[in-house]
A and B are shown apart, each in its own frame.
Chain A
Amino acid sequence: DAKTTQPPSMDCAEGRAANLPCNHSTISGNEYVYWYRQIHSQGPQYIIHGLKNNETNEMASLIITEDRKSSTLILPHATLRDTAVYYCIVHRWGKLQFGAGTQVVVTP
């Protein structure tokens, strides 16, 4: 499975958009990009996933570059409850590798 690279930390002001980058330059054609987040020591929570096209749901938007080597998760209006570690993962066939993730702190 492809490895991912994310910045270790990021601050965001409440109400502003948070843009979380992820590099996955070795991704192969059948591998999906997934985003999860983990608040404290709770179980990770699914946010969104995509293959080639951009995706949007009630939580976030996922922008995947045309060459698929990087993606950006967008939280459109960050709230204090969005403070968490965000993981970008690429996988197929069930084997997942979580990286270190990005610690996002949303400040008032």
Chain B
Amino acid sequence: EAQVTQNPRYLITVTGKKLTVTCSQNMNHEYMSWYRQDPGLGLRQIYYSMNVEVTDKGDVPEGYKVSRKEKRNFPLILESPSPNQTSLYFCASGRSGGLSYNEQFFGPGTRLTVL
């Protein structure tokens, strides 16, 4: 089944404790992206990657790191999480088609709470 998986789905952690949220897709997509969703602020893009070893900042990259060492995986790293990073996180992937990135498939979301 074509899908985007995220782990963990739920996480409660404490300030400053490094964490990684994994994202994996099995559709051989070039494009992958991370978003966070907060009440009243909608979905905001954190980072995106157009292909292996190519990453770019979205609108809210501060406090996050990403890497794209292989096509299927795009982990989101919080080196020193803070309470303002408490949010619902989504990973997405899509095919590249020239200037269009066609439909993006979203993962089920990771609900992160930083105490």
Q: Measuring CB to CB, which residues of chain A are less than 8 angstroms from any residue of chain B?
A: 30, 32, 36, 38, 41-46, 49, 51, 87, 91-101
> Contact check: which of A30, A95, A99 meets B56 at CB < 8 Å?
A95
Judged by DSSP, the binding face of A is loop
> Contact check: which of B59, B102, B105 meets A49 at CB < 8 Å?
B102
Closest to A46 in B: B103
**A-side contacts of B33, CB under 8 Å:** 94, 96
Q: Is B109 part of the binding interface, using a Cβ–Cβ cutoff of 8 Å? A: yes
Interface string of B35-69 (1 = CB under 8 A from A): 10100001111001010000010110000000000
Q: Is the CB of A46 within 8 A of B56?
A: no
Q: Is the CB of A32 within 8 A of B43?
A: no
Per the bound structure, the CA–CA distance linking A87 and B106 in Å amounts to: 14
Per the bound structure, the CA–CA distance linking A91 and B31 in Å amounts to: 14
Per the bound structure, the CA–CA distance linking A43 and B37 in Å amounts to: 10
Q: Is the CB of A46 within 8 A of B48?
A: no
Q: Is the CB of B99 within 8 A of A93?
A: yes
